[in-house]
Amino acid sequence: MRWILVVLVVVMLGFVSSVGIDDDVIGEFREGEKNVDVIVELKNDSLEIGAFQLDNCFDSLDDVIDEEKITYRFENSIAVEINERDLDVLSRSHNVESVVKMGKIYALLQDSVGIINVSSTWGLESSGVGLTGVGQSVCVIDSGINYSHPDLIGNYLGGYDFVDDDDDPMDGFGHGTHVAGIVAASGGISGVVPGVGIVAVRVLDNSGGGNPGDLASAIDWCVDNAPQFNISVISMSLGCNATADGYNSYCDSVDDGCFNSAIANSINVAVANNISVVAASGNFGSVEKISSPACIQNVIAVSSIDKNGLISSFADRNFLVNLLAPGRDINSTYFLGGYAIASGTSMATPMVAGVIGLINQYLSLSGQSKTPTEIESILNNTGRRINDSGSGLSFSVVDVYAAILSLDVDAPEVALVSPVNYDVDMNANRTFVCNATDWQLASLSLNIWNSSGLYYNATGNGTSFNVANMSEGNYFWNCLGVDVVGNSAYASANFSLTIGGISTMLLLPADNKYANVNDMNFSCRVVSEENYFVSNVTFYLWNSSGGLANSSVKNISGFDNASIFNYSFADEGNYLWNCLGVNNASNSSWGDFNYSFVFDVTAPVVSSLSESVGVSGATISWTTDESANFSVGGEISGSSSSYATNHSIVISGLSPSTTYNYVLVSCDGAGNCVNRSDSFVTGAVVNPVSFSGGGGSSASVSFVPKIYEVGVDEIKFGYVQKLEKDDRVNFSIFDFEGGRHLLSIDEIEVDYVELTIESEPIKLKLGVGQSVKLNLTSVIYYDLFVRLNAIVGDAAELTIQLINEPIEIRTAKITGNVVENEDGDIENYSWAVAILVIVFVLIVLIFSVIKRKRLKSSKSKEKNGERKKIKT
């Protein structure tokens, strides 16, 4: 019945339909398929707005075909899954040109990720995490994205819409969704980094246009929100329309209306924050010029190649282009659902952005850090070079796998397989097997050691090593993996092997162990070859003079036995210990060598404790009568875990003239500790430039303000000093302690300085070349002269001199109203006051004269009026 229906449809199509129906489509239904994937081509080929505004063209089809069945749209075609009834409807439609069976032509993004070698990296792991971009995010500045697209919904983190000024960057044009899919699609198709996060910033409106000012704001937004979303790349698949002619050199300062300066500034801030900025070179096919913002120096400019590896005909490129990636016929997410194919440097740009996100993920996982410039350089150096006959230049096509391998700092992970650890066997011909895991393993080596040192070494490409005729004895073995870039590692622990009938190993305490408890356990392990059980084990302890301090025997059983022996120490001292294992075949074996043990209950004795103190630091030194570590606490801190008898610690960053108390704790290897408390006082800062020629010690401590102590003799002849903000000069006018004053610098500006003089606070503001005379101690004469000679950098050079001049104009102490200018003329502010008074008086006079005139005139008018009245 169903077959008959198909025949009827076919017959009907033959008579009434002008639609070209692919025989393969009919064939599929004849063979019993219920649904067939087809491409429906529409007759309407006068599309107005390109690939991203196709809604109207499909309105009529939407009436007959379920929207959900449409898997992609491109220009005047759709890919859709149809049943027989749909085919019937399509065949009668006036809008449909043809219906053909869909081949596997839509895996174009997958082709592209293959070209840049990114899929090879998806299988790589670092620190147990797959390299898919997880943890990184790309800020896509575009037309927004449809964040509800099934392939993007899991990657979308947030964003902003600068077109509508809200926080909903929903895509109304389609370009941003396509770009975002190339970066991160995860579902029907896979983007370059399917695990990366997408942050969408909308600057292109629903017609695809935008304002360059918004672009600068968008970049700033990405930078500001980078910490929240861990944005490491900004992707800009756009260009300024004013630059149809483009730029043939860096355009950072070319202000032609494309807002280059502001955008360059934003980009520079992004790069300074370790965020790579990637932009499309443009699509005018120029071999001399590229668009803005790709022309900005700190941008990674990306141009396009086709899938066959040739530069796309539309691709702009010149020497400003940094990288190439596939940009023609790229299938990616469509903003109305499904997928669409598009071409342009727009499509190449997000590929590079995604690659950088992936590189940043690996850098983060492997504890490395690279600047955007370094990452660009890595991609350039590891990419596949192609020559462009059009421009005469050569460019690198991104090869992310090669880039990642060049950054490889992970050593191989080596595992020892056989013989198993602690193996005991009479067989002298052994096969050693170990495995190594690495992205680029170069070689694997077997190393076998005995008590004399390295016994055997071999390097091979395989994982298996045959060693013949091993002599009886105890061995340790391990394998060393080395990768192509030289990272190498052994398995985390050596394996033990005994060729012979029995093996004895000393377990605890480890060799050279110190202890301050007298009750100690000693353990050793005895392993026999598989034909004989172990029989007994004897523990031996010798004192420092070689005398046997203890021996103890235990009967043991099985093939593998660990025994514990207890001993209570009575005397401090150095001891050696070992175990002797015996099996039922009377084979016996000692541990490889005697282990050392020190029983010590006496704390170290500290002597020669001394401090060498400076203005801002101190060195504390002491010795101990035995090896010990130390820690210093209290008002200073420091420590050393090394055991030694001579100790010293340098403390810095201390304040001058300050007392520091500290507690020193020094412990020996057995854990016996000694405490010592002490203190020291740091030195005062003294004048580093002594006018009297006395070489004061330099207190060049940059983090504390300097205090200069100046005596009467120095200030008498004029003390000159360069002072920085908060520096102080402590000086004397009289030769006794109570006569000391303090001058401090409050502020230093370009051409003046603000300072304070105490004991009574007097605040002054001096311009360069200006001076002031002060009467600090008398009401009838000036006793101090201060002059600002110059301001050099952050320092003000002042002259401070003791004087004795009668005060001619009596004022209150000092208000700075008597100022001597650079020429030495006296400027008296009183003149200004006088002038002001004169002006005031003049005004009053003028006002009075005017008033008087008016009064006169009104009186004469009144008189005239009276006369008129009289006349009437």
Partner 1 sequence: MEKKGLVGLIVLVVVLLVVGFFWFVGELGGETNEELRCEVDDDCVKVQVGCCACNMGGAEKCVARSFEGDYLSRLDNCSETMICAAVYNCEIVGCRCIDGECVGE
φ, ψ dihedrals at 680, nearest 5° = -150, 165
**Closest by CA position to 345, among listed 382, 299, 290:** 290
Annotated catalytic residue: which of 37, 88, 142, 438? 142
Which residue, 259 or 660, is less far from partner 1 as judged by CB?
A: 259
**Closest by CA position to 86, among listed 104, 105, 106, 63:** 63
Which residue, 93 or 589, is less far from partner 1 as judged by CB?
A: 93
Minimum distance, C-beta of residue 47 to partner 1, in the bound complex (Å): 7
Minimum distance, C-beta of residue 331 to partner 1, in the bound complex (Å): 13
Minimum distance, C-beta of residue 56 to partner 1, in the bound complex (Å): 10
Active-site annotation holds for 346: yes
For CA atoms 266, 272, 278, 280, the dihedral sign is positive
Active-site annotation holds for 741: no
φ, ψ dihedrals at 346, nearest 5° = -55, -40
Minimum distance, C-beta of residue 652 to partner 1, in the bound complex (Å): 54
Q: Within 10 Å of residue 855's Cβ, how many Cβ atoms?
A: 10
Q: In one letter, which amino acid is 117? A: N
Whole-angstrom distance, CA of residue 558 vs CA of residue 746: 86
Minimum distance, C-beta of residue 239 to partner 1, in the bound complex (Å): 5
Q: Within 10 Å of residue 716's Cβ, how many Cβ atoms?
A: 16
Minimum distance, C-beta of residue 314 to partner 1, in the bound complex (Å): 5
Minimum distance, C-beta of residue 40 to partner 1, in the bound complex (Å): 18
Q: Burial of 862 by CB count in 10 Å (0-12 exposed, 13-18 middle, 19+ buried)?
A: exposed
Which residue, 175 or 317, is less far from partner 1 as judged by CB?
A: 175
Active-site annotation holds for 46: no
Annotated catalytic residue: which of 346, 496, 503, 666? 346
Say if CB 245 and CB 289 are below 8 A apart: yes
Question: ∠ CA 483-484-486 to the nearest 5 degrees?
Answer: 65
φ, ψ dihedrals at 19, nearest 5° = -80, 135
Annotated catalytic residue: which of 77, 112, 175, 217? 175
Which residue, 346 or 361, is less far from partner 1 as judged by CB?
A: 346
Which residues is 170 bridged to in the sheet?
Answer: 145
Which residues is 425 bridged to in the sheet?
Answer: 499
Which residue, 342 or 524, is less far from partner 1 as judged by CB?
A: 342
Which residue, 284 or 422, is less far from partner 1 as judged by CB?
A: 284
Residue ranges in contact with partner 1 by CB under 8 A: 45-53, 75, 142-143, 173, 175, 178, 203-204, 207-212, 214-215, 237-242, 244, 257-259, 280-285, 291, 312, 314, 342-347, 349
Whole-angstrom distance, CA of residue 863 vs CA of residue 869: 10
Minimum distance, C-beta of residue 701 to partner 1, in the bound complex (Å): 54
Minimum distance, C-beta of residue 226 to partner 1, in the bound complex (Å): 22
**Token pair for 120:** 């090879």
Minimum distance, C-beta of residue 109 to partner 1, in the bound complex (Å): 15
Say if CB 252 and CB 260 are below 8 A apart: yes
Burial letters for 149-172: b for 16+ Cβ neighbours within 10 Å, e otherwise? bebbeebbbbbbbbbeeeeebbbb
CA atoms within 13 A on the CB side of 138: 43
The three-state (H, E, C) secondary structure of 650-664, written as one string: EECCCCCCCEEEEEE
Per DSSP, the three-state class of 609 is strand
What DSSP letter does each residue of 773-813 carry, written as one string? EE-SS-SSEEEEEEEEEEEETTEEEEEEEEEEEE-SS--SS
Which residue, 142 or 161, is less far from partner 1 as judged by CB?
A: 142
Which residue, 43 or 716, is less far from partner 1 as judged by CB?
A: 43
**Residue 825: DSSP 8-state:** -
Burial letters for 279-306: b for 16+ Cβ neighbours within 10 Å, e otherwise? bbbbbbebbebbbbbbbbebbbbbbbbb
Minimum distance, C-beta of residue 288 to partner 1, in the bound complex (Å): 15
Say if CB 241 and CB 144 are below 8 A apart: no
Cis peptide bond upstream of 326, omega within 30: no
Which residue, 238 or 397, is less far from partner 1 as judged by CB?
A: 238
Whole-angstrom distance, CA of residue 520 vs CA of residue 517: 7
- Residue 45, C-beta contacts closer than 8 angstroms, at least 6 positions apart: 76
Say if CB 325 and CB 305 are below 8 A apart: yes
Whole-angstrom distance, CA of residue 593 vs CA of residue 534: 20
Per DSSP, the three-state class of 100 is strand
Which residue, 14 or 213, is less far from partner 1 as judged by CB?
A: 213
Which residue, 285 or 694, is less far from partner 1 as judged by CB?
A: 285
Per DSSP, the three-state class of 53 is coil
Which residue, 49 or 819, is less far from partner 1 as judged by CB?
A: 49
Whole-angstrom distance, CA of residue 649 vs CA of residue 528: 53
Whole-angstrom distance, CA of residue 364 vs CA of residue 710: 56
Which residue, 346 or 666, is less far from partner 1 as judged by CB?
A: 346
**Token pair for 795:** 């320092």
Q: Within 10 Å of residue 641's Cβ, how many Cβ atoms?
A: 8
Minimum distance, C-beta of residue 62 to partner 1, in the bound complex (Å): 19
Stated as kind and residue range, the H or E segment containing 78 is: strand 77-82
Minimum distance, C-beta of residue 291 to partner 1, in the bound complex (Å): 7
Q: In one letter, which amino acid is 84? A: E
Whole-angstrom distance, CA of residue 841 vs CA of residue 554: 122
Whole-angstrom distance, CA of residue 679 vs CA of residue 658: 10
Residues tagged active-site: 142, 175, 346
